[in-house]
Amino acid sequence: MIHYDFSGQAAIVTGGTRGIGRAIAESFLAAGARVIATYVGNETAAAAFREANRAHAERLDVRKCDVTDYGQTEALFKALEQSCPAGIDILVNNSGIRRDSILGMMKPEDWRAVLDVNLNGTFNMTKLAVLAMMRKRYGRIVNITSPCAHFGFPGQANYAASKAGQIGLTRSVSKEVATRGITVNCVSPGFIGTDLIKDLPDKLRQQYLDQIPLKRFGNVDEVAACVLFLASKEAAYVTGTVLEVTGGL
């Protein structure tokens, strides 16, 4: 693993208690950051994450916060003004859901739910983070998108639209805040073995594997390593971009 030094910095990782988010949160902890890991409802995963990282308890804050609810995200940032008086340095918008179905069969509530978590959640958190980061004239925002944004896998119109929306938001905001020392980028993981894709039928799983030049799914640490790079001081000249972590897909 590449060793960055994030000591003295504070990082929020949404959906940071399991899957890719957990690996990102644990990588930041290992690199010395103070970490605020959020989740929405899976108390078992949150407790297991907290327990596994007991050694870093003084730098770890696990908070329940629904990113779709602007009031809850505002309350989170308000609370962090007390617990992180030096301000937030890093935001990773990692929370995400899928509700797959072909468009003709897609329930309007499934369309809205996916857009709400993946895109509106990114807006809520990014808006508040940008306001806080502008005050300290420093910040790193990393949005976790997906190759689906440009491939548009069938059955994922809602997911693809939300992930493409994140890329558009990233590019616009990166230009708005560039002179304030804030960078905004995306990491786009390919197929990564987490709960999110555990329901993929075997046949489809094999079809996807056949298309990946590296002939394997990625792992969460390979995504976390790329997020840490974009969140580092060393990545100061990288903004408005999408880093693909897809095995060449």
Active site residues: 159
Q: CA 194, CA 213: separation in Å to the nearest integer? A: 20
Q: CA 158, CA 231: separation in Å to the nearest integer? A: 28
Min dist CB 218 to ligand NDP, Å, is 8
Query: How many residues are given for the chain?
Result: 249
Query: Does position 144 bind ligand NDP by CB under 6 A?
Result: yes
Binding mask 214-233 for ligand NDP (x = CB under 6 A): --------------------
Query: Does position 129 bind ligand NDP by CB under 6 A?
Result: no
Of positions 9, 73, 94, 239, contacts ligand NDP by CB under 6 A: 94
Q: Which of 56, 64, 18, 66 shows the shortest CA–CA distance to 35?
A: 56
Kindly state the helix (H) or strand (E) to which residue 243 belongs, with its residue range.
strand 242-245
Alpha carbon of 225 to those of 69, 91, 181, 231: distances in Å?
29, 15, 22, 10
Of positions 9, 17, 156, 232, contacts ligand NDP by CB under 6 A: 17
Token pair recorded at residue 54: 């007991």
DSSP single-letter state for residue 96: -
Query: Does position 192 bind ligand NDP by CB under 6 A?
Result: yes
Residues of this chain, 100-119, that bind ligand NDP according to CB under 6 A: 117
Vertex 72, ends 112 and 41: CA angle to 5°?
70
Query: Does position 18 bind ligand NDP by CB under 6 A?
Result: yes
Query: Does position 189 bind ligand NDP by CB under 6 A?
Result: yes
Query: Does position 42 bind ligand NDP by CB under 6 A?
Result: yes
- Binding interface with ligand NDP (CB under 6 A): 14-15, 17-21, 38-42, 45, 66-68, 94-97, 117, 121, 144, 146, 189, 191-192, 194-197
